[in-house]
Amino acid sequence: MSIFTKPINEISFQDVTYFCEQGIGESVNLDYKRDFPSSGLEKTISAFANTFGGVIIIGVEDVDSKPKPPFEGIEYKDKLEERIWNIIVDNIYPPVFPEIRVCPPLNNKTFVTIRVPQSNETPHALYNNTQVYIRTGNRNKPEDLATVEQIEWLRNRRNKSEELRETLYRRAEERYQTICKQKKVRIEFAEFTLSFAPLYPQKPLMITEEIEGIVNKMKVLGGGGREFPRLSHYDLEPIQDGMIYFFFNKDTGFITQTEINKFGLIFYKEDLGSGMKETAESETIRRVRLSKIVDILSVSFESIARFYNTVGYWGLVEVKISLVGLLGIRFVRLKPSQYFIDEAERINISEKELSWEIVTSVSELSDVVARQSKLLSLGKEIAWSFGFKISEDIIKQTLKEEGRWIE
């Protein structure tokens, strides 16, 4: 598990050494310091909090922003963590509350890991409230003084960012409804919506012309031919602030839509229901298979990690999932014939729609173990909403059979 996501009190000397051996360079959310700095640590901590959050590792020398071996750490001394808290309390206002880990020493050497969260209480200022820094990721100037406009944005960032995020959702839904109305089509039942967006979007993460190239870099193939996003860059059409793909199969009635916005929104729709008649005279039986949802989430979580890594976003991510048009639908378990001896389906008689929301981080989505853990807990919650009590082992086995589980 990465030092971005591993429980802070479990990070060991060996964990930091292994991380450094991968040669990951300094960025908008990663900073190396050879020794405990006599000054400037408060600037890096506040800049991370004002931007997307990040990790500081003390005890690692860097050359051209990349960690330079040997990775020996710094001399272990008492009260290293207390020194960091004193720097924060004495210099940063309002104070920042990072996670701090002084690794158990090896040959009297240690690493100090400081994990700074993206803050909702910006701006965090220094030096008697006179200077505000943001993290740039620029090799020559990783922290920079914020402009007047940036400070004003930081003061109101949470409200403005939430308003922007909700506007992005609303406009994407409105576009979908408008296209369906113009084409005189609609999803009859089990309309599935999946969206990913920065929790606090601030500015464009890319220019619209870059989206086509990014699609090929973020594509992930799953079991049974499942892919995300379900398109090629040739299918995309320009829209304001992004690109969109809409597909309708006249023979089956299947509909799907994908929208990618330059502010980092991925908005996905799919006709998740399947209808069939047992006899020519019988009514159509409508079903939704839990395995489909688990499959979509598995490939999309990995795809979104690639997307945000490509555009250089490392902050928090809001994931929203919804299913609309559910009355009378039969919910189908995961692999019922293999794991259950009772009824494999449940008929929904009470819920018109279901929705789920989680907040995660790009670091979690990028880390295989953390991403799979998030998928297991979310899969259990969705199954419970369908009326099924299943274990994480069943979800794991399903993903293994689809070639989507990594030990």
Token pair listed for 116: 């700074």
What pLDDT score does 193 carry? 98
Rounded distance between C-alpha atoms, residue 161 and residue 200, angstroms: 5
d(CA 61, CA 254): 55
228-263 in b/e form (b: 16+ CB < 10 A) is: bbbbebebbeeeeebbbbbebeeeeebbbbbbbbbb
Is the link from the previous residue into 105 a cis peptide, with omega within 30 of 0?
no
C-alpha 310: how far from its chain's center? 13
> How far apart, in Å, do the first and last CA atoms of the chain sit?
12
pLDDT value for 275: 59
Long-range contacts of 344-349 (CB under 8 A, 24+ apart): 345/287, 346/386, 346/387, 346/388, 348/386, 348/387
pLDDT at 342 over 50: no
For residues 14 and 16, what is the distance between their CA atoms, to the nearest angstrom? 5
Peptide bond into 123 cis (omega under 30): yes
Q: How far apart are CA 88 and CA 116, in angstroms?
A: 12
Among 1-5, 100-104, 278-282, name the one with the lowest average pLDDT. 278-282
pLDDT of residue 276: 56
Question: Quick count: other Cβ atoms within 10 Å of Cβ 120?
Answer: 12
Which neighbouring-strand residues pair with 256? 247, 270
Q: What tens digit of pLDDT does each residue of 281-300 get? A: 556 788 888 888 999 999 99
Average pLDDT for residues 180-201, to the nearest whole number?
94
Q: What pLDDT does 348 receive?
A: 82
Does 229 sit behind a cis peptide bond, omega within 30 degrees of 0 on the bond before it? yes
What percentage of the chain reaches a pLDDT higher than 70?
95
Spatial distance between the Cα atoms of 233 and 161, rounded to a whole number of angstroms: 29
**Residues 295, 402 contacting (CB under 8 angstroms):** yes
Structure confidence at residue 382 (pLDDT): 94
**Range of lowest pLDDT (218-227, 232-241, 302-311, 341-350):** 341-350
- What does the block give as tokens for 223? 């079991």
Examine the pLDDT at 379 and tell me if it is beyond 70: yes
Work out the average pLDDT over 358-378: 88
The angle subtended at Cα 184 by Cα 235 and Cα 262, nearest 5°, is: 35
- How far is it, in rounded angstroms, from Cα 191 to Cα 212? 26
Contact 271, 191 (CB under 8 A): yes
- 3-state secondary structure at position 231: coil
More confident residue, 165 or 39: 165
Sorting pLDDT into bands at 50, 70 and 90, what band is 204? very high
- Is the confidence at residue 45, as pLDDT, over 90? yes
Which residue spans of the chain are classified as CATH 3.30.950? 8-155
Asked if residue 365 has pLDDT above 60, the reply is: yes
What are the residues facing 120 on neighbouring strands?
none
Specify the CATH number for 8-155; select among 3.30.950, 1.10.10, 3.90.1200, 3.40.50: 3.30.950
Q: Which SS3 state, helix, strand or coil, does residue 355 take?
A: strand
pLDDT at position 12 is 95
365 or 243, higher pLDDT: 243
- Please give the single-letter amino acid code of residue 229: P
Which pLDDT score is estimated for 229?
Answer: 93
Mean pLDDT for the stretch of residues 231-247? 93
pLDDT tens column, 63-94: 988 999 999 999 999 999 999 999 999 999 99
Confidence at residue 277, expressed as pLDDT on a 0 to 100 scale: 47
Position 407 pLDDT exceeds 50: yes
Q: Angle at Cα 35 formed by Cα 30 and Cα 38, nearest 5°?
A: 100
For the stretch 296-333, pLDDT in tens is 999 999 999 999 988 878 778 999 999 999 988 888 88
pLDDT of residue 397: 84
Asked if 188 and 255 count as a contact pair (C-beta separation under 8 A), the reply is no
Strand 30-33 relative to strand 54-58, pairing? parallel
- The pTM of this model reads 0.76
Q: What percent of the chain has pLDDT over 90?
A: 57
- The residue written with tokens 């609309």 in the block is 324
> What length is written for the chain?
407
pLDDT of residue 302: 94
Contact 369, 1 (CB under 8 A): yes
Average pLDDT over residues 42-65: 93
Residue 281: is it exposed, middle or buried by C-beta count within 10 angstroms (0-12/13-18/19+)? exposed
Average pLDDT, the chain: 88
- Nearest 5°: phi and psi at 243? -140, 155
CA atoms within 13 A on the CB side of 11: 24
pLDDT recorded at residue 340 = 47
pLDDT tier, 280 (very low <50, low <70, confident <90, very high otherwise): low
Average pLDDT over residues 103-122: 92
My answer on whether omega of the bond before 94 falls inside 30° of 0, hence cis, is yes
pLDDT of residue 150: 85
Q: Which two tokens stand for residue 215?
A: 């699609």
